[in-house]
Homo-oligomer: A and B are copies of this chain.
Amino acid sequence: MKVLSQTSKYGIRALLYIVSNPSTGEYVSIGEITKELNLSFHFLTKIFRELTNKGILYSYRGPSGGIALAKPSDQIMLIDIVLALEGEDYFDNCLLGFPGCGVEKPCPVHNFWKGIKEDIKSHLCNTSLAQLGEKILAEEVRLFD
C-alpha cells in the first residue's frame, strides 16, 4: 500500500525530526538529520531543495548553515508538504480510476473512496508539524526504529 512516495515519507520524517529536536542554532544541518534518521544525505538534500524552492524551508550555506522552517511549525500542515512533493494533482486520480473518472463518471468504488479521500485530505489539512512534534516529544510515537 503505497500512499506516499519515498520522497514524501522521507521529507515529512525529516521535518518532524527538526520540530521534535529543539536545536541550538538557527539552522539544522542536513547531515545531522540524515545521520539520525539513517537516510541518504544526497537524497534528502534534493528533497529539501524542493521544499526550499516551494517556500516551505529556508536554507543557508556554509559552516553552521543548514535548513530551517520558513514558518512556525504550527502553521505548516502535512498537506503543504504532500502537495509540494507529490504534486498538486495528488488527489485527482485514485483507486480504480479510468481516464476521465471522477464525480461525473464515477468508477465502481467512487462513493466509498470519496469518503476515505475526504478523511485523508481533512486530516492532512488539519495536522501541523507542531502537533506531531509534540506527540514525538511525549514519546507517544516515533520517527525511527
Question: CB within 8 Å of B: which residues of A?
Answer: 1-4, 9, 12-13, 16, 37, 78, 86, 90-101, 105-112, 116-117, 119-120, 123, 127, 132, 135-136, 140-145
Contact = CB atoms under 8 A, between A and B. Distances in A.
A141 B107 contact: yes
A90 B98 CA distance: 22
A92 B97 CA distance: 23
Contacts of A95: 3-4, 9
Contacts of A132: 108-109
Chain A binding surface SS class: loop
How many subunits of this chain does the assembly comprise?
A: 2
Contacts of A112: 123, 127
Contacts of A111: 141
A13 B108 CA distance: 9
A98 B119 CA distance: 23
A145 B9 contact: no
A4 B116 contact: no
A4 B96 contact: yes
A111 B141 CA distance: 9
Nearest to A97: B9
Contact of A105 (B90, B99, B110, B142): B142
A13 B96 contact: yes
